[in-house]
């Protein structure tokens, strides 16, 4: 579908999950990343935080972007009520996050930004995820074997804990993995001739 895409796509993400999702969509792309300090104003609401951070990552490319290039940036946040759970810095932080998520429903919000020399557009998707009650043994096993320190909320839905611990989701599964692929597909079509 995308073999005649008019722009060279640049994915600004080291995430192997996002890279695989783009490949599975049939896209050809180059990975190009920049270090960005992910700090956001304290007055932003949950979805606004994800969009703000995604756009922050995109702006890092503005001065060097070529007319034939399109940059895709993204940010995923995990929210328990109004609390935003970041990436855990160690085992104890991961254990606390997963203990907090145990037996509750939380939201995963992924924002995506598309940047070209002619402008920037952003979108986001919200998925509700419900964990069953997790035992301390299950949580420790997951952390020790999967080391989820690069993941918001201290878990990957596509890993062991997702198989045994998540009993219900409302919304896009792929959004929780790292990209709202159906929404992204539509946004990319808008940049291109009709497919």
Out of 39-43, 170-174, 182-186, which region has the weakest mean confidence (pLDDT)?
Answer: 39-43
Catalytic option among 75, 82, 90, 100: 75
Rounded to two decimals, the pTM is: 0.93
Angle between helices 136-146 and 91-101 (to 10 degrees): 130
Residue 194 has pLDDT above 50, yes or no: no
* pLDDT band, very low/low/confident/very high, at 94 (cuts 50, 70, 90): very high
Please compute the mean of the pLDDT values over residues 22-28 and round it to a whole number. Answer: 94
The closest of 95, 158, 169 to 132, measured between CA atoms, is: 169
* Residue 189 banded pLDDT, cuts 50, 70, 90: confident
Residue 100 among the catalytic residues: no
Q: Are 13 and 74 in contact (CB under 8 A)?
A: yes
Residue ranges of alpha helices (H) inside the chain are 16-24, 46-59, 91-101, 136-146, 160-165, 173-177, 181-191
Q: CA-CA distance, 83 to 72, in Å (whole number)?
A: 27
Instruction: Band the pLDDT of 195: cuts 50, 70, 90.
Output: very low
CATH architecture of 8-191: Alpha-Beta Complex (3.90)
Query: What is the rounded average pLDDT of the residues 49-74?
Result: 96
Confidence of residue 46 (pLDDT cuts 50, 70, 90): very high
User: Closest by alpha carbon to 190, among 139, 101, 114?
Assistant: 114
| Distance in angstroms (rounded) separating the CA atoms of residues 30 and 46 | 30
Q: What average pLDDT does range 121-136 have in this prediction?
A: 98
- CA count, 13 A, side-chain hemisphere, 40: 21
What is the predicted pLDDT for the residue at 7?
A: 87
Q: Decide if pLDDT at 5 tops 80.
A: no
SS3 192: coil
Domain ranges of the chain: 8-191
The pLDDT of residue 3 is 60
């Amino acid at each position: 579908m995308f073999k005649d895409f008019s722009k060279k796509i640049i994915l600004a993400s080291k995430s192997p999950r996002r890279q695989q999702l783009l490949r599975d969509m049939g896209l050809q792309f180059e990975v190009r990343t920049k270090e960005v300090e992910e700090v956001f104003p304290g007055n932003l609401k949950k979805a606004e935080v994800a969009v703000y951070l995604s756009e922050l990552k995109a702006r890092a490319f503005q001065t060097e972007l070529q007319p034939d290039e399109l940059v895709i940036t993204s940010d995923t946040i995990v929210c328990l009520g109004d609390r935003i759970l970041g990436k855990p810095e160690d085992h104890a932080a991961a254990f606390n996050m997963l203990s907090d998520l145990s037996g509750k429903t939380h939201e995963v919000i992924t924002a995506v930004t598309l940047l070209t020399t002619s402008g920037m557009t952003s979108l986001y998707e919200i998925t509700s995820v419900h964990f069953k009650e997790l035992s301390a043994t299950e949580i420790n096993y997951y952390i020790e074997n999967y080391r989820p320190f690069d993941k918001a909320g201290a878990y990957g839905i596509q890993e062991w804990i997702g198989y045994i611990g998540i009993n219900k989701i409302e919304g896009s599964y792929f959004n929780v993995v790292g990209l709202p692929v159906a929404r992204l597909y539509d946004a990319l079509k808008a940049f291109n001739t009709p497919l």
